[in-house]
Amino acid sequence: MDNLITFAGGTYGRWKVEKVLAVQGDTLKATDRVDVVTGSSSRTSSQPVWTLHGFLSNPRYATRRELDQLKAIQPPLHRPEAMHAALIPIRKTAAWWELAQDERREIFEETSRHTAIGMGYLPAVARRLHHSRDLEEPFDFLTWFEFAHSDAPAFDALVHALRATPEWKYVEREVDIRLVRDGSE
Amino acid sequence: MDNLITFAGGTYGRWKVEKVLAVQGDTLKATDRVDVVTGSSSRTSSQPVWTLHGFLSNPRYATRRELDQLKAIQPPLHRPEAMHAALIPIRKTAAWWELAQDERREIFEETSRHTAIGMGYLPAVARRLHHSRDLEEPFDFLTWFEFAHSDAPAFDALVHALRATPEWKYVEREVDIRLVRDGSE
């Protein structure tokens, strides 16, 4: 599947793990590296310590206005200067998933300003969202971010701002894995 | 995966195929039976002619008010009297998937009254939606319906009403497989 991405924590991959922060709930085991692979199988020859899967899909909350604003300003992945990355798997509570679409949208944007907050950190921070819940994975979402070394403090501010929103009351598990690209891989 | 459902067209399964209607685009091969299996593998011993997969997920458009109305009136699957079923796989156009959430909601309900139309056929028609697009399947959605013999004309009216909506301009492939439960299986 071309829209399925596998993240494999182990000894292989171009991203070296800098630190693993247990933000909420059970953490993931710190590994030397994380490999990011398109498709369901890892190209790693050794056994990964953990693997997480998620698929790329259409936006679930953004309005036309928000999508157009994002498209005008959001950077692509793989910028040469973006040597830093974060993989942030989160799981939301059952209460979140029992909400209707209008209730989730209200909390996501009208109350928590999720997209608006993120927009304040563009074009510094590249972002790709992977959906995991429908695959019955341990997390609901895996978000991957890339940014330059000089934007690392701004990225910290971004995740702190999001964690302070009403939306984050519905987050029951969150791990924040910080990575640095290793040119030798 | 407990939320993954497989539909297998072949010689096995408790649902006998009555007819296969090619509504729009390429059809599916008519088989003797359709087997409905929880999980990714079919328990059928013979090779199915086709298999389709979809996952159960949270509603993507319904508001709290609509969800509460639906919950109050929608029947479960597997009612003894519901001897008839329809499996309707559809694929929507690329243009649909490029729309933002507010644009899709507007067409789905404010313009096409998808939920409101369906509500008019409750509690006669039981319905279960399976999402396939994120699995890179040939269809985006597989909808399964169950109803009694006496409600078959009402079910025909329901699908005709939906096919006349603006939402259906975004449907590029649709097959309508009508089935009858076979007590001997």
Q: Render pLDDT for A76-131 as a digit per residue (tens, 0 to 9).
A: 999 999 999 999 999 999 999 999 999 999 999 999 999 999 999 999 999 999 99
The residue length of chain A stands at: 185
pLDDT 10s digits, B47-94:
899 999 999 999 999 999 999 999 999 999 999 999 999 999 999 999
Residues shown for chain B:
185
| Res B183 pLDDT > 60 | yes
Residues of B in contact with A131 (CB under 8 A): 134
C-alpha closest to that of B116 among B76, B156, B56, B70: B70
Confidence of residue B41 (pLDDT cuts 50, 70, 90): low
Give A-chain residues touching B58 at CB under 8 angstroms: 97
**Do A115 and A96 contact (CB within 8 A), yes or no?**
no
Closest CA to B136 of A38, A77, A36: A38
A110 contacts on B by Cβ (under 8 Å) = none
Name every chain B residue with its beta carbon within 8 A of the beta carbon of A39. Answer: none
Spatial distance between the Cα atoms of B102 and A115, rounded to a whole number of angstroms: 15
Contact B60 A60 (CB under 8 A): yes
Q: Is B94 an interface residue toward A (CB < 8 Å)?
A: no
Mean pLDDT of chain A: 95
* Residue A4: Cβ within 10 Å count: 19
Question: Against a cut of 0.90, is the pTM above it?
Answer: yes
pLDDT digits over A26-60, tens only? 999 999 999 999 987 656 557 899 999 999 999 99
What share of chain A in percent tops pLDDT 90?
A: 92
Nearest CA in chain A to B70: A100
Would you call A61 and B101 a contact, using CB atoms and an 8 Å cutoff?
Answer: yes
Q: State how far the Cα of A99 lies from the Cα of A95, in Å rounded to an integer.
A: 7
pLDDT of residue B185: 47
CB contact under 8 A, B102 and A63: yes
Residues 6+ apart with CB under 8 A from B34: B7, B8, B9, B13, B15, B17, B87, B177, B179
Task: Flag if A100 and B2 touch (Cβ within 8 Å).
Answer: no
Q: What is the ipTM of this complex?
A: 0.93
Hey, is the C-beta of A40 within 8 angstroms of any chain B C-beta?
Answer: no
